Amino acid sequence: MTTYVYGIARRGHGRLPEQMGGIGDPPRPVRTVEQGDLVALVSDAPEGLRPKRRDLLAHQNVLAEAGAGGAVLPMRFGGVSADDEAVRAVLAEHEERYLERLEALDGKVEYNVKATHDEEAVLHQVLAENAELRALSDANRKAGGGSYEDKLRLGERIAAAVQQREVSDAALVESALDDSAEERSPGPQSTGWLANISYLVPRDATAEFVAAVDALRERAPHLVVQVHGPLPPYSFTG
Amino acid sequence: MTVVPAQQSGSGGGSSGLYDVLELVLDRGLVIDAFVRVSLVGIEILKIDIRVVVASVDTYLRFAEACNRLDLEAGPKRSPGLPDLVGEITESGARGKSKGALSGAAQTISEAFKEARSEGEESPRPRSRRTTTRRKEEQE
């Protein structure tokens, strides 16, 4: 029977969610594997585990529940060990590093911030700032939209201007939130956001962080800013 | 038992719907080399649509059309710089009038039709995707 690992905590962790339902259908009960000063949160791994919605959610829920009681190093979804003994071996081998990370993450949570442009608002801005584009747009409008070539010419220049704003607005998001968090980690690339950033925030300072996001939204109404958190500190496991 | 702590403030907090944090669950988090990793084949369907501007003819045409439709005088999210802009547009509009009021009117009507049509086709884009329903699932 293979062992699925959700996360790693200190042995002294307040309350780990034992007997909570984990991955699989029916859900495999969550249990712990202890080694030295560490404890791994595990369950049996179901045969043919795939990244199905219910399993991803179970992984996330176990970590959220465990994280509410103390520091937990969250595993990426889908790590399966040969058996409990192999889990102990890994804990023993990396004990020092895991303890150091747990110390660093103690009392902290992750917030993920994603931003896109509100298209209409950003087009307003781009036109407001550039008289030449405004004149082109105006000419097209007067010509009933303009010819195919006219549209391409205008659209290409607008797209370039919006792309420039994507870069400067990404920097704006970073600078607006950096002071309210301890660490920043870029989110996974190529998922289509102008900014996708994870922040490590002390639990007792999350209200300030959320207030900083609100202030950013107010300051930059052309941005659509999403915040997700508090989350297990996936992006800060070192 | 609360799994996901409650949102701190009405507008600024965020829930953590699985879809929105999927990439973190699948792409971040501790990896242990000695463990076997579950195959992520097939997970591509869950990837988020590309939303940043991609330089392509489609994008150019879309932006040109959007500019054409843009109601510069009564946009729902007028940018702070807009009053200046409206002033200039009005000026150039006045100059344009010498070309003939008739064609101007015809154009306005055809634009109104176009706008009505496109509004009918496009479903409103959500301003943000804060999910509250899923949070309930995550709370017991």
Confidence of residue B43 (pLDDT cuts 50, 70, 90): low
- The C-alpha atoms of residue A36 and residue B104 are separated, in whole angstroms, by 81
Q: Which of A77, A61, A72, A76 is nearest to A32 (CA)?
A: A72
Mean per-residue pLDDT, A179-197: 87
Of B26, B65, B82, the CB nearest to A128: B82
- Are B89 and A134 inside 8 Å of each other by CB? yes
Confidence of residue B101 (pLDDT cuts 50, 70, 90): very low
Q: Which of A36-40, A115-119, A225-229, B91-95 has the lowest mean pLDDT?
A: B91-95
Torsion A9-A15-A19-A24 (CA) sign? negative
Confidence of residue A188 (pLDDT cuts 50, 70, 90): confident
CB within 8 Å of chain B, chain A residues 218-237: 221-222, 224-232, 234-235, 237
- Are A221 and B79 inside 8 Å of each other by CB? yes
* Interior/surface letters A66-89, b for 16+ CB within 10 angstroms, e for the rest: bbbebbbbbbbbbbbbeebebbbe
- Are B25 and A137 inside 8 Å of each other by CB? no
- Are B88 and A224 inside 8 Å of each other by CB? no
ipTM: 0.85
Q: What is the pLDDT of residue B53?
A: 80
Q: Flag whether residue A13 sits within 8 Å of chain B, measured between CB atoms.
A: no
Q: What is the pLDDT of residue A181?
A: 96
Q: What is the pLDDT of residue B48?
A: 53
CA A133 to chain centre: 36
Residues of B within 8 A of A121 (CB-CB) are 75, 77, 79
- The C-alpha atoms of residue A197 and residue A114 are separated, in whole angstroms, by 7
- Amino acid at residue number B102: L
Q: Flag whether residue A158 sits within 8 Å of chain B, measured between CB atoms.
A: yes
**Tally of CB atoms within 10 A around A167:** 11
Q: Which of A11-15, A80-84, A116-120 has the lowest mean pLDDT?
A: A11-15
Q: When comparing pLDDT for B41 and A84, which is higher?
A: A84
Whether the predicted pLDDT of B116 surpasses 50: no
- Are A193 and B51 inside 8 Å of each other by CB? yes
Query: Nearest CA of chain B to the CA of A124: how many Å?
Result: 7
Q: What is the pLDDT of residue A66?
A: 94
Confidence of residue B73 (pLDDT cuts 50, 70, 90): low
Confidence of residue B47 (pLDDT cuts 50, 70, 90): low
Q: Flag whether residue A129 sits within 8 Å of chain B, measured between CB atoms.
A: yes
By residue count, chain A amounts to: 238
Chain A with chain B: Cβ pairs closer than 8 A:
270
Domain limits of chain B? 57-121
Q: What is the pLDDT of residue A236?
A: 97
Tell me the pLDDT of chain B averaged across its residues: 54
The helix or strand, by DSSP H or E, that contains position A44, with its residue range, turns out to be strand A38-44
Q: Which of A221, A126, A154, A125 is nearest to B63 (CA)?
A: A154
Question: CB neighbours of B72 closer than 8 A, spacing ≥ 6?
Answer: A124, A127, B82, B85, B86, B89
- The C-alpha atoms of residue B93 and residue A143 are separated, in whole angstroms, by 13
